[in-house]
Amino acid sequence: ERVERLAAKDLKSMNLCFDWLQVFLPYTLQKIDRVTFGIMSAEQVTAAMIEQPLMPLTRAKLAIPFVGKDVPSQASEFAHPDIVIGLTVFAYRYEGLRRNDFD
């Protein structure tokens, strides 16, 4: 009965919370930082820019898939924006902010 009285905006917020708690959070918690996902280090960004000059700069700041321990995927990115946000938050939490993250 209470749910039926909610405004459309509030109902959408509740659905998003439900999705996060039931789908996205369990998925992101299964991932291992610097093994299955992570943020590229400054050295990895430099090497990637030399190898792929047209690489989007967002790859340097957002979490990307890793193919092994400390080995970022050369071109892959996570497809779902909520997963990208969640893994990016976890990566910064685990790895910490770096000086160049403020640029």
CB within 8 Å of 65: residues ≥ 6 apart:
36, 37, 72, 73, 76, 77, 78
**pLDDT tens for each residue of 30-43:** 999 999 999 999 99
Domain boundaries, the chain: 1-30, 32-96
Structure tokens at 23: 């789908």
* Three-state SS at 51: helix
Kindly tell me if the per-residue pLDDT of 1 is higher than 90: no
pTM of the shown model: 0.89
What single-letter DSSP state applies at residue 100?
A: G
